[in-house]
């Protein structure tokens, strides 16, 4: 009888060992780090510029992203939304272009961030929202454009900005800070057309000696391909999103991963379809 029960005992022992092993794996597993990405509900098409970089950055850091759509938030609403992300189990928050959905003053916005109990990083194109841990998506763009213009030897430039585009208005204001009105008023010739914003105005470009398009997000590559513009200055938004996630992950884990300023891309009609540039723009 004892010999007959021995296989049963062995089977029970084996099952017990498997159960212990499974429970060990179950309890040994760590919950993935989670980052809430708060974006403007009305700007889903613009989000595509950052989407691949965000997801690839999250995958490289073994992070789960929770997408949260926001619209018309007062500072108190933003505080509540940040608190809700903590309750939902998130470990950090990325505010993607908060200027698009925060309606209070930058000062009230800054106070809301100070009250947050989570690591928060913002990616913005509005210098008023460069508060605390934040990265400027258009940093250095106008400086690079100004150097290109000066290197050409031209003394004349006409700045054009889409007044409905806050980024374009900002870039035009920065350009005017670089160039004095006296220089422009005394200059002869058509000079350069410095167009700020995603869309080119071809009739004004045609009336100039050269045309440069400044567009940190969603640039009009068609204008360059059709040689309506001579230069396009934009930003590698894939890398910008990727490194911002990398930085925020470092904060969550207590390691120092510095924020990267945007990688600028300076394109011409000849280099637009260059394989090396394609890797930068479309990866």
pLDDT by 10s per residue, the chain, length 283: 444 455 666 666 666 666 655 554 444 446 789 999 999 998 878 899 999 999 999 999 999 999 999 999 999 999 999 999 999 999 999 999 999 999 999 999 999 998 888 999 999 999 999 999 999 999 999 999 999 998 988 878 899 998 999 999 999 999 998 876 445 444 445 689 999 998 888 888 888 889 999 999 989 899 999 999 999 999 999 999 999 999 999 999 999 899 888 999 999 999 987 655 554 444 4
Distance of CA 105 to the CA centre of its chain: 22
Given the structure tokens 């403007």, which residue do they identify? 40
Query: Please, are residues 195 and 160 in contact by the beta-carbon 8 Å criterion?
Result: yes
H or E element, residue 134: strand 134-136
**Residue 3 has what pLDDT?**
46
Q: Structure tokens of 45?
A: 């098409």
Distance, in Å, from the CA atom of 167 to the CA atom of 24, rounded to the nearest integer, reads 53
Sign of CA dihedral 27, 32, 36, 42: negative
Residue 200 tokens read as 């080119």
State both tokens at 268. 């011409």
Contacts of 171 (CB under 8 A, 6+ apart): 138, 141, 142, 161, 196, 197, 214, 216
Which helix (H) or strand (E) is 224 found in, with range? helix 221-225
Both structure tokens of 184: 């422009």
Residue 159: closest CA among 123, 195, 189: 195
**Parallel, antiparallel or unpaired: strands 264-267 and 231-235:** antiparallel
User: What letter does residue 259 receive in the DSSP assignment?
Assistant: P
- What's the predicted TM-score (pTM) here? 0.82
Which residues contact residue 225 at a Cβ distance below 8 angstroms, ignoring those fewer than 6 apart? 269, 272, 273
pLDDT of residue 88: 94
């Amino acid at each position: 009888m004892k010999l007959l029960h021995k296989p049963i005992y062995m089977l029970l022992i084996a099952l017990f060992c498997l159960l212990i092993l499974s429970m060990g794996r179950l309890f040994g597993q760590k919950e993935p780090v989670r980052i809430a990405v708060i974006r403007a509900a009305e700007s889903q098409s613009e989000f595509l510029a950052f989407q691949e970089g965000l997801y690839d950055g999250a995958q490289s850091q073994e992070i789960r992203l929770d997408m949260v759509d926001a619209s018309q938030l007062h500072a108190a609403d933003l505080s509540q939304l940040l608190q809700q992300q903590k309750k939902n189990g998130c470990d950090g928050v990325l505010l993607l272009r908060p200027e698009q959905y925060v309606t209070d003053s930058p000062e009230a916005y800054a106070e809301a961030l100070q009250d947050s109990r989570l690591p928060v990083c913002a990616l913005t194109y509005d210098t008023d929202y460069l508060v605390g841990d934040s990265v400027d998506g258009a940093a250095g763009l106008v400086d690079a454009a100004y150097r290109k213009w000066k290197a050409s030897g031209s003394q004349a430039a006409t700045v054009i900005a889409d007044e409905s585009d806050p980024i374009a208005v900002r870039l035009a204001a920065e350009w005017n800070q670089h160039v004095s009105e006296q220089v422009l008023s005394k200059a002869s010739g058509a000079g350069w057309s410095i167009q700020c914003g995603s869309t080119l105005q071809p009739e004004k470009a045609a009336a100039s000696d050269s045309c440069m398009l400044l567009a940190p997000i969603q640039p009009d590559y068609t204008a360059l391909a059709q040689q309506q513009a001579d230069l396009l200055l934009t930003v590698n938004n894939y890398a910008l999103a990727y490194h911002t996630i990398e930085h925020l992950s470092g904060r969550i884990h207590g390691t120092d991963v510095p924020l990267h300023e945007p990688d600028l891309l300076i394109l011409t009609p000849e280099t637009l379809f260059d394989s090396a540039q394609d890797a930068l723009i479309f990866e």
